[in-house]
Amino acid sequence: MFMRIRLVSCLLFACLAAACSMTTDQPASDLRVNPLDPDATPSPQTDPATRIADALQEAKQTYDDGHYNSSMRWAQTAESLIREHNYPDHDLAIAINIQGYCLLQRGQMEDYFVSPDGHVEGALTKFQKVLQILPKDFRARLGIGLCNFRLHSHMVMKAETLGQGAISLDSIQYDLALSSSEADSARRADLLRDARRRFAQFTSNRDKLLALHYVFKDVSKNPKFNEDRERDAPWLGTLREGEESGKVLDVNSALETAIAAGSLDSHLHRGAARDIAAVAESWRHVRNYWRKEALVRLQRARDQFLVLYKERPDYFWIERDLAFVYQSFGAYFLDEGLDAAQLQAIKAGTRPERLEAEARRLYLDDSNKTWAKAESGKNYKYALDFIKAFIVSHRQFEMKRIAARDKVDFNDQNSNPFLVDLVSRYRATMEELIVQERNMRASMVLEGAVLCIEPLFQNKDTPLGVRFADDLKALQPRNPIHHLVKATAYFYDADYDLAKRSYEAYLQDSSVTEDLPRRNLARERIRQCEIHAKRNAGAGESADKR
């Protein structure tokens, strides 16, 4: 084996020597360009226009494919080339816009700090830079609207989490009051143990929120961009972090003492009640802060979308965005109304497991005529109107795509193998896009169905809900969700016979494993339908006997 390797090496050396001997009349230095020689001729390069076009194309394609990090790098390359070669502002705006949308998809709307890179621009800054180049750029203004809507969503999640924490504290405080007045020792011990368990859960959740830094602090209000930016942001609660932690420890100690003693004495009860109320008030203060900030962002998104909607009525995707915006407005006022109903239910002694249902009942009661409830219903109506408009526009858009697909066919002019393959791929791509768009429209149809079926949204329209269910069946024949939509519409309309049949059809067609939660709901609703049917039958018999 060693001899074979030596033989091959000798032959290779001989070939190289022969090659060198053929060029003895030409210096070796002439075979390559000296990088230090100013008079050397550089190797040919792709012209800048092609490189810019290729980089922009790759950025667009990778963005469409969902590879946002790769798209971001291609767009940055394109921006660098455009600036270097002084290409038109239009190309520069496209490159920066792509970067903005990549950041938007990654959830990085605002500027942020990354070590060791330092201050990094977020999506909002990117879009604002585009508007400095082209003040009327549609994509950049749309991006700013989308950024504000996404920021609103993040702030709403913070507010909801804090609100649930405050409600939990209210419920614990009520249990402590009950335990102080409870004569039965076993019942008193159960109340205290349950209060300690729920307070321990609250404490665990609080520790997780504190570790995030941006729930009890508004990082955007800190002008510094360094590693301590989150920690140095202003605290939002009425209690300082250390002061609140002290009260939490005092309440936990009081609960431990009460459980050991079998009762909570009046002194400990008053102290624990004050501490719990103070912490709950601080959390509500922070909750209200984020709700107001979210409302500001939502109003900015709405105003931006409405302007674009008037400028470009042909761009019907704005109808979908406006539907989501008005849904969010409706949810904002709905939350206000339900919060008030929850507090009313807690004061009436409602247990935690019944709190949501009782708050819903109080909110929907005809005697509840609050401003928040009226505003919620009005905004949900606007959302439903935009959803209906979007569905019509989107259906027309699909018909145009189908016509474009069917227009391209095999004939004498494109019968050679290359064109046949091209046409086949075009038709397959168009078919795939049509299917994807139908799935997206189906999701909007489902949104519309929920808005006109669920009583909380105050848009009750059973016939429209049934039509939406039929649209879902046409768009996704294999998805049994249309049975559930139709059943829910009938159930809330008190047509229990039709509701039961539709729920049974859903159980027949749905998956035992994939649709388990919905199947459980359907079974529970079937049981309720049977109870209502028996009551109605009993009422009829009683009337006949009388």
| Confidence tier at 263 by pLDDT (50, 70, 90) | confident
512 class by beta-carbon count within 10 Å (0-12 exposed, 13-18 middle, 19+ buried): exposed
Question: What is the separation of C-alpha 28 from the centre of its chain, rounded to a whole number of angstroms?
Answer: 64
| Confidence tier at 397 by pLDDT (50, 70, 90) | confident
Query: What does the block give as tokens for 337?
Result: 């109304």
State what percent of residues in the chain have pLDDT above 70: 85
Q: Compute the average pLDDT of residues 123-149.
A: 96
Contacts within 8 Å (CB) and 24+ apart, 131-139: 133/89, 133/92, 133/93, 133/96, 134/89, 134/90, 134/93, 137/93, 137/97, 138/308, 138/311, 138/312, 138/315, 139/93, 139/97, 139/101
Judged against a pLDDT cut of 80, whether residue 303 lies above it is answered with yes
Q: Would you state the pLDDT for residue 409?
A: 60
* Domain residue ranges of the chain, discontinuous segments joined by +: 48-136, 145-315, 480-541
Q: Would you state the pLDDT for residue 484?
A: 95
48-136 is classed CATH 1.25.40.10 = yes
Judged against a pLDDT cut of 90, whether residue 538 lies above it is answered with no
| Confidence tier at 115 by pLDDT (50, 70, 90) | confident
Fold category of 145-315 in CATH: Four Helix Bundle (Hemerythrin (Met), subunit A) (1.20.120)
Residue type, 68: Y
Q: Would you state the pLDDT for residue 428?
A: 67
Q: Would you state the pLDDT for residue 486?
A: 95
Contact 111, 68 (CB under 8 A): no
Q: Compute the average pLDDT of residues 252-263.
A: 87
Question: What is the separation of C-alpha 139 from the centre of its chain, rounded to a whole number of angstroms?
Answer: 21
Residue-wise pLDDT tens digits, 178-203: 888 877 888 888 888 898 999 999 99
Judged against a pLDDT cut of 90, whether residue 82 lies above it is answered with yes
| Confidence tier at 4 by pLDDT (50, 70, 90) | very low
Which of 393, 392, 404 lies closest to 430 in space, CA to CA?
404
DSSP character at residue 33: -
Q: Would you state the pLDDT for residue 222?
A: 80
DSSP character at residue 122: -
Mean residue pLDDT of the chain comes to 85
Cα distances (Å, whole numbers) of residue 303 to 143, 165, 322, 387, 431: 13, 32, 10, 18, 36
| Confidence tier at 417 by pLDDT (50, 70, 90) | low
Q: Collapse the DSSP code of 400 into the 3-class scheme (helix H, G, I; strand E, B; otherwise coil) and give the result.
A: helix
Q: Would you state the pLDDT for residue 539?
A: 56
In the chain, the largest separation of any two C-alpha atoms, in whole Å, equals: 126
DSSP character at residue 106: T
